[in-house]
Structure 1
Amino acid sequence: MLIFKAFSALLSYPSVEMRQALPEIAEVVGSSALLEARERAGLLDLMDELGEGELLTIEERYVDLFDRGRALSLHVFEHLHGDGRDRGTAMVDLKALYAAAGFELSTSELPDYLPVVLEYLSQRNMAEARDMLADCAHILASIARSLIARQSRYAAVPQALLVIAGEKPVDAAGVKPVREQPEALDRDWVEQPAFAATPGGGSAM
């Protein structure tokens, strides 16, 4: 199912190759019977945005969204388990699922990376795809809500996935826009210091 391959490309780190493929991706999106008119329009708007301006600007926008905090992480199990031990177990199970279907990861990406999951679904039947998407619908809704709050057109992808899964997309009118400061975006990634400060305020080294 090419539509899932298209979604995978749209959610991956922007590249020259992805931008060159946008007309083909737009054709897949435009002809898919799985999408409602509203979701199709949102995806086409996203592709227009991805095709405009300098690639560096698009790359920076992507990093600011998806690499600065857990709310928008594209690693599915991070939303469920954080960095806990259960996440590792879940990824082993997911990798085994891929292997049982005859697929082996050929990239350095983790198996729970959403573009990887979508790439897998592009090779499976619709029943399995819908079941898998329905299982993580609450995560897709959370990502969509966070993207809508940041007024990002990337929200069109998880919204479309929710529709395909048979779930209701997030009501954008009920999401309050936010403008988070960089320190707020980074808060989830702050690690506790390995050494306590000395009484004089300096390092213990």
Structure 2
Amino acid sequence: MSGKHPAPGLPTDERAVAWQAASLLLDYPDEILLSRLDLISSLAERLPGAVGDPLRATIRELESSSLPALQQEYVETFDTRRRHNLFLTYFAHGDTRRRGVALLRFKQTYLRSGFILDESELPDHLCVVLEYAATVDQRLGWGLLLDHRAGLELLRLSLADAGSKWLGALEAVTATLPPLRGDEWAAIQRLAAEGPPQEEVGLTPYATPAFDPVTLPMPTFPGARR
């Protein structure tokens, strides 16, 4: 992992709000999330436009549909399309044996902060990574996001091509990160052309974590414990 400190730009408190808001908006929609959209929107208004505007765009999209329709579209978006995968190691490793090592690195990073995830949650799910970065250890979380920047960008581009309701949340996340370098663009182009590796190794089924968005930017973190 890079271990780099967050670059200058957003203050740490604004970065935490942006990441936590995106984490909540990218999670499986339920009644609790819909009841908190006004709170998330009010906090997004305090962020710079490049970050706050796309967050509010996703909020407007979520507000425009019924909950059953949102849930169906969420499943169709993130559970049935390889390029819309919210599990960060999938873009680099697919369902190959190397992915198990990559997942272990996420767990080891969390352990450095005194966090242990329940076995029901995979540690590379973007919602988990964003909430960890926002509420537990911003420096180590920043490193995880940078290490998987190519996958994040491919996810953003894929959601843009699909006209997804959740595009704004991804745009907000990438807006908090440094500009892409040449080698990162090359990795994105390779991923776009080839897609993730497809060797099947029988990984356990993916479980999408659910969070309780009571307050921002310091919500509860089910599945993790000190």
Q: Unaligned regions of 5+ residues in structure 2, if any?
A: 1-15, 181-196, 201-226
Are the equivalent residues in 2 in contact too, given 1:131–1:165 (CA < 8 A)? Answer: no
Matched, 1:11 2:23: no
In the alignment, is the contact (CA less than 8 A) between 2:22 and 2:172 conserved in 1?
no
Q: Of the two structures, which has the highest relative contact order with CA contacts closer than 8 Å and spacing of 6 or more?
A: 2
**Cα 1:2–1:101 shift into 2, 3 Å:** same
Q: Deviations over 1:53-111 (max 9, x none)?
A: 32000001111110112100000011111101111111112112111201122472210
Matches within 5 A, 1:1-150: 1-32=16-47, 35=48, 37-106=49-118, 108-124=120-136, 126-150=138-162
Task: Classify 1:126/1:120 alpha carbon distance in 2 versus 1 (closer, same or farther; 3 Å).
Answer: closer
Alignment of 1:170-185 (within 5 A): none
* Equivalent in the alignment of 2:179: 167
* Gap regions ≥5 residues in structure 1: 169-187, 192-205
**Contact map agreement 2:18 2:52 (CA 8 A) in 1:** no
User: Residues 153-175 of structure 1: CA distance to partner in whole angstroms, max 9, x if unpaired?
Assistant: 3111222222211226xxxxxxx
- Contact between 2:79 and 2:85, CA under 8 Å: does it hold in 1? yes
Give SS of 1:152's match.
Answer: coil
Distance (whole Å) between structure 2 residues aligned to residue 81 and residue 11 of structure 1 = 22
Larger Rg: 1
1:127-186 C-alpha deviation (Å, 9 max, x unpaired): 444433222221111001000101113111222222211226xxxxxxxxxxxxxxxxxx
CA–CA distance in 1 between the matches of 2:106 and 2:139?
Answer: 18
TM-score, reference length from structure 1: 0.74
**How far apart, in 2, do the equivalents of 1:123 and 1:138 lie?**
24
- C-alpha distance in 1, partners of 2:140/2:84? 25
State percent identity of aligned pairs: 29
Question: Is the 1:130–1:164 Cα contact (8 Å) retained in structure 2?
Answer: no
> Residues of 2 paired with 1:11 and 1:80: CA distance?
21
AA aligned opposite 1:5: Q
